[in-house]
Amino acid sequence: MTRRTRDRIIYAVVWLACLSPLLCLVWWGLDDQLGANPINTGLRFLGLWGLRFLVAGLAITPLRGWFGWHGLQRYRRTIGLSGFAYIALHLLTYIGVDQFFDWQAIVKDVLKRPYITFGMLGFTLLLPLAITSTNAMVRRLGGRRWRQLHKLAYLIAPLGVLHYDLLVKSDTTWPWFYAGLLAALLGWRVWQARTRRVATRPVSA
């Protein structure tokens, strides 16, 4: 098997892994397995998988540093865009299916319910990252400006965890799990940045 063939197979597996939760949701919906409140079940399912993919995208760089898995880098964009797709579907389900495009009620919800406020803020910040995810946009913005813009992911993921935590209200085990995981991933990045600064600091004579 050539390297090119192997890379294509791995890409296909990654895409299938990213698509499989949505396929499961569609299957459960067709088979009437979404429970007594299918809209709420679908909303939470899509939002949770969006958060999972965002966290998975942020985990790629630390995994490269910890285990030397440098090949993961090529799949980060796919995973990140999958996170955006699930969150966009989560939002569209809320707007179109749950609220029936009642914009007055939606605005009232955003202003009244903190978990919706933080969710909307996270999606608003995520939108420019998705728009600038192509190679053409990287060239247009320049590598440095593009990297600076995409550091918004370090804010978006915590907003997603906060949205999740405020939503579930009672059993916050899983939101706190994602919060701890995210703290470890972002903490590693802060430590790496400080290490690089120390390493490049000029030595006094």
> How does pLDDT run across 67-92, given as a tens digit for each residue?
887 888 889 999 999 999 999 999 99
Helix (H) or strand (E) holding 168: helix 153-168
Q: What is the pLDDT of residues 164-179, one digit of tens each?
A: 999 987 788 999 999 9
Better-scored residue on pLDDT, 143 or 197: 143
pTM: 0.92
CA distance 164 to 168: 6
In the chain, where are the structural domains located?
3-184
